[in-house]
């Protein structure tokens, strides 16, 4: 480096000056990069909160569905008390009881002998007892996008059912021979992640045992293949594979989050048999695993009242669904049910104590003091749980006594998170391994984040569209001057109170609404990109909009119901011609009922009575 002085001569800079310039440049670049990554991290966390809040709100609706179902039965019996139509509630109860009894009668209803395997079928042809080469063929076939023939699906599920029935509620493996144990968390139908785990960590055997900690179905596109592959691994290596039950191994949850719909699409002719048999197999899954009498592996978590002796002794198959348990003589063991929900649905929190998990609607939040007392009372060292997403795929908390493992990468959208699994040695020391079954990690960080943000905002806008009537009413109450504008604080307050989502609304505001020159929110701009319209693009009128938004909230459940309803009605055959309205309410989340009952329930209940009167007169 040199510079020219006044007399025209050049003065050469010293080496120390060059070093100082380089250091300043490096510090400047480093400062800029840290600020850039900090901004990206803030954006990523905001998008993550949006996704997680919407997910937990949806699960909360499913938990409240049982209470809502009871409300319908009570309301129906009051409306029809003593009259000729008094059998409505009775028939509704009978249909639920009949369906429950039929699901248990699987041996006759799920026969596979009469299902022929076509000559054109190119997938693996299974024979039992299953062997390791057959499992390898299944892996190769699934990795190419193939599906297993319905006959082999049913046969494999029947074999799995026999193995699981012999398992205790709490499985207690030892690492005395293997010297290690691998725990895999939520997979949620992500076949690529499961195959990557098996590729990196190896297939199971006596020296390489696995615990799969629930939630291997729903949400992903390959839930059937993931479940069948896990069951096949357990059949070939029964002492080296344990599969815990998660909150999504539940016949009611499966109807809402994609698993039943996937079965209907892939096995249309035999879907009813397969759905019934999967539900029964899920009910036989163990509830927890204790490794070397030191490490509890359970899907959700614990509570201050959780009793492992009670968990070990209850009849787990009785709880086909944890969110809608089977009623025997109108009663269930509430203590058992509460503890099952706590085991499958709870989450750890840094605050002390134990309180109801209102975000999910079931289970509890348990603090570090609850963890400490539980470990001491049961002479354990650690709790490994899943159930909760994390950007890195894992998280230690409560003084490293609780480890959350989540194995489904790109769970919310492409690039949203990594997956992970954990390996324990025979001394109980964990070693976490991260994974990402996607090419998105090759994209720049900013590109990945932009994709993640867009997907999160689409989900939020869908939630806003489903609550337009309530939001407009809330904004109108705050708009005293009828200017179609409110303050930013009022807009944030209305959004949080009506959507019941604790989100950083001020940070999200620029992406959702427009401001006037005096910094007031034009609240109708909230719906510019979220309008619910009729099929020709015409916006719905106010009364019709409330009905359409109710349907929109339950679109996934209604879509699944529309594909399977013919088979279900044929099996129960006790519904009246008014079932169209009753079906909608039986399938809708409680939140829909609570928020829309004043607008929609009278109209739907009138529809039920009108259809019943038409049926009676004809």
pLDDT (average), residues 464-475: 88
Cα 560 from Cα 258, distance rounded (Å): 8
Buried b (16+ CB within 10 A) or exposed e, 59-76: bbbbbbbbebbeebbeeb
pLDDT on residue 462: 81
Local confidence band at 118 (pLDDT 50, 70, 90 cut-offs): very high
The band of 603, judged by pLDDT with boundaries at 50, 70 and 90, is: very low
Q: Which two tokens stand for residue 610?
A: 């009108």
Q: Which two tokens stand for residue 157?
A: 């599920």
Rounded mean pLDDT, 103-126: 85
**Which three-class secondary structure state does DSSP give residue 10?**
strand
* Average confidence score pLDDT of the chain: 79
- Contact in structure between 245 and 287 (CB atoms under 8 Å): yes
Q: Quick one: 138 and 178 in the same domain?
A: yes
Question: Do 273 and 412 sit in the same domain of this protein?
Answer: yes
N- to C-terminal Cα distance for the chain? 101
Which tens digit of pLDDT belongs to each residue from 165-177?
999 999 999 999 9
CATH of the domain at 475: 1.10.238
Please check whether residue 498 lies inside any domain of the structure: yes
pLDDT digits 0-9 by tens, 31-40? 887 887 777 7
Note the pLDDT of residue 528: 79
Residue 129: cis peptide before it, omega within 30 degrees of 0 = yes
Confidence band, pLDDT 50/70/90 cuts, at residue 564:
low
Q: Is 443 inside any structural domain?
A: no
Pairwise pLDDT comparison (335 vs 44), residue with the higher score: 335
Of 438, 459, 487, which residue is a domain's last? 438
Residues with Cβ within 8 Å of residue 376, at least 6 apart in sequence: none
Residue 68 within any structural domain of the chain: no
Q: Which two tokens stand for residue 567?
A: 């088979």
pLDDT digits (tens, 9 = 90+) for 524-544: 988 876 544 444 444 444 445
- Segment among 175-179, 325-329, 402-406, 461-465 with least mean pLDDT: 325-329
If one compares 361 and 91, the residue with the highest pLDDT of the two is 361
**pLDDT score recorded for residue 207:** 95
Between the alpha carbon of residue 233 and those of residues 160, 303, 420, 470, 495, the distances in Å are 10, 32, 20, 50, 48
Same domain membership, residue 300 and residue 170: yes
- How far, CA to CA in Å, does 413 sit from each of 148, 440, 451, 463, 469? 27, 10, 8, 17, 29
Q: Is the CB of residue 346 less than 8 Å from the CB of residue 366?
A: yes
188 is catalytic: no
pLDDT at 188: 95
Measured CA angle at 399 (ends 395, 405), to 5 deg: 20
The lowest-confidence range among 170-179, 184-193, 388-397, 567-576 is 567-576
The structural domain count of the chain equals 3
Q: Is residue 364 domain-shared with residue 406, that is, in the same domain? A: yes
The active-site residue out of 188, 248, 299, 398 is: 248
| pLDDT(63) > 50 | yes
Reported as a single tens digit per residue, the pLDDT across 484-516 is 899 999 999 998 888 878 788 888 888 888 999
Let me know: does 557 contact 520? Beta carbons within 8 Å.
Answer: no
- If asked whether residues 513 and 604 sit together in one domain, one would say no
Residues 424 and 471 in one domain: no
Residue 506: per-residue pLDDT: 87
d(CA 400, CA 395): 9
> Quick one: tokens of 527?
């719906």
Nearest of 144, 149, 163 to residue 232 by alpha carbon = 163
* Calpha distance 526→476 (Å, rounded): 13
In a domain, 25, yes or no: no
Q: 88 or 144: whose pLDDT is higher?
A: 144
- My answer on whether 519 and 390 are in the same domain is no
Residue 606 belongs to domain spanning: 543-563+576-618
Measure the CA–CA gap between 332 and 494, rounded to whole angstroms: 40
DSSP 331: B
* Three-state secondary structure call for residue 229: helix
Regarding predicted confidence, which is higher, 5 or 333? 333
| Any domain includes 601 | yes
Q: What pLDDT score was predicted for residue 211? A: 98
Whether 522 and 427 map to the same domain: the answer is no
Domain membership of residue 521 (yes or no) is: yes
Same-domain check for residues 335 and 371: yes
CB burial of 122-144 (b: ≥16 within 10 Å; e: otherwise) equals ebbebeeebeeebbeebbebbee
**How far apart (Å, rounded) are the C-alpha atoms in residues 77 and 70?**
11
Distance of CA 174 to the CA centre of its chain: 31
Residue 423, SS3 per DSSP: strand
Note the Cα 6 to chain centre separation in Å.
Answer: 74
* pTM reported for the whole predicted model: 0.73
Q: Which pLDDT score is estimated for 278? A: 96
Asked if residue 355 is part of any domain, the answer here is: yes
What is the pLDDT at residue 52? 64
Same domain? For 398 and 524 the reply is: no
Q: Tokens representing 565? A: 């309803």
Pick 156 or 446 by higher pLDDT.
156
SS3 206: coil
In terms of domains, do 428 and 482 share one? no
H or E element at residue 474: helix 468-478
What percent of the chain clears pLDDT 90, i.e. is strictly above it? 46
Contacts of 308 (CB under 8 A, 6+ apart): 170, 288, 296, 378
Q: Which of 1-10, 163-172, 199-208, 441-450 has the lowest mean pLDDT?
A: 1-10
pLDDT tens digits, residue range 366-383? 999 999 999 999 999 999
Distances (CA, A) of 163 to 13, 168, 452: 80, 11, 41
Residue 449 lies in a domain: no
Q: Which of these ranges, 20-24, 76-80, 181-185, 411-415, has the smallest mean pLDDT?
A: 76-80
Quick one: 586 and 525 in the same domain?
no
CB 389 within 8 A of CB 417: yes
Residues 6+ apart with CB under 8 A from 555: none
CA–CA distance, 365 with 301 (Å, rounded to integer): 9
170-171 vs 485-486, strand pairing mode: unpaired
Contacts of 550 (CB under 8 A, 6+ apart): 588, 592, 596, 600
pLDDT for residue 301 is more than 90? yes
Q: Which residues contact 66 (CB under 8 A, 6 or more apart)?
A: 323, 324, 325
Residue at token pair 């289970």: 363
Q: Nearest Cα to 135, choosing from 207, 32, 228, 40?
A: 228
């Amino acid at each position: 480096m040199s510079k020219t002085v006044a007399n025209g001569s050049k003065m050469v800079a010293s080496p120390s000056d060059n070093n100082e310039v380089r250091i300043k440049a490096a510090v400047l670049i480093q400062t800029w990069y840290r600020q850039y990554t900090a901004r990206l991290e803030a954006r990523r966390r905001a998008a993550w909160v949006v996704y997680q809040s919407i997910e937990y709100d949806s699960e909360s609706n499913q938990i409240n569905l049982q209470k809502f179902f009871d409300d319908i039965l009570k309301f129906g019996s009051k409306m029809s008390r003593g009259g000729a139509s008094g059998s409505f509630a009775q028939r509704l109860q009978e249909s639920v009881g009949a369906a429950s009894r039929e699901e248990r009668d699987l041996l006759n209803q799920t026969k596979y002998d009469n299902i022929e395997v076509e000559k054109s079928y190119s997938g693996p042809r299974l024979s039992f007892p299953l062997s390791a080469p057959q499992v390898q063929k299944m892996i190769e076939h699934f990795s190419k996008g193939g599906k297993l023939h319905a006959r082999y699906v049913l046969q494999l599920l029947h074999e799995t059912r026999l193995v699981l029935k012999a398992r205790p509620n709490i499985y207690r493996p030892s690492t005395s021979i293997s010297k290690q144990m691998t725990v895999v968390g939520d997979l949620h139908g992500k076949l690529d992640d499961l195959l990557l785990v098996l590729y990196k960590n190896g297939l199971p055997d006596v020296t390489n045992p696995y615990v799969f900690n629930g939630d291997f179905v729903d949400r992903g596109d390959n839930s059937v293949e993931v479940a069948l592959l896990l069951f096949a691994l357990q059949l070939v290596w029964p002492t080296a594979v344990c599969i815990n039950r998660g909150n999504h191994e539940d016949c009611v949850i499966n109807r809402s989050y994609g698993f039943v719909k996937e079965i209907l699409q892939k096995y249309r002719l035999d879907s009813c048999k397969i759905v019934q048999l999967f539900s029964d197999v899920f009910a036989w899954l163990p509830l927890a695993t204790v490794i070397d009498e030191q490490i509890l592996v359970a899907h959700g978590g614990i509570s201050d009242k959780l009793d492992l002796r009670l968990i070990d002794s209850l009849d787990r198959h009785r709880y086909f669904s944890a969110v809608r348990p089977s009623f025997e003589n109108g009663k269930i063991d509430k203590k058992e049910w509460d503890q099952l929900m706590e085991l499958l649905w709870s989450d750890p929190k840094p605050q002390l104590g134990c309180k109801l998990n209102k975000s999910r609607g079931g289970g509890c939040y348990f603090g570090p003091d609850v963890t400490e007392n539980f470990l001491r009372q049961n002479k354990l060292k650690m709790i490994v749980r899943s159930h909760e997403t994390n950007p890195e795929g894992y998280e230690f908390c409560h003084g490293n006594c609780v480890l959350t493992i989540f194995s489904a990468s790109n769970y919310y959208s492409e690039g949203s998170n990594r997956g992970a699994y954990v390996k324990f040695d025979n001394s109980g020391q964990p070693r976490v391994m991260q994974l990402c079954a996607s090419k998105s990690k090759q994209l720049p960080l900013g590109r990945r984040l932009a994709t993640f943000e867009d997907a999160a905002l689409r989900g939020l806008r869908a939630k806003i569209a489903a609550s337009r009537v309530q939001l407009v009413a809330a904004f109108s109450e705050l708009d005293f001057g009828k200017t179609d504008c409110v303050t930013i604080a009022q807009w944030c307050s209305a959004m949080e109170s009506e959507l019941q989502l604790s989100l950083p609304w001020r940070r999200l505001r620029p992406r959702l609404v427009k401001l006037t020159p005096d910094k007031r929110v034009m609240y109708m701009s909230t719906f510019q990109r979220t309008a619910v319209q009729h099929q020709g693009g015409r916006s719905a009128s106010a009364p019709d909009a409330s009905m359409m938004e109710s349907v929109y909230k339950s679109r996934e459940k209604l879509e699944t119901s529309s594909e399977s309803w013919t088979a279900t009605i044929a099996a129960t055959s006790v519904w009246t011609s008014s079932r169209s309205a009753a079906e909608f309410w039986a399938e809708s989340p409680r939140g829909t009922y609570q928020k829309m009952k004043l607008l929609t329930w009278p109209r739907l209940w009138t529809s039920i009575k009108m259809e019943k009167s038409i049926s009676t007169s004809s």
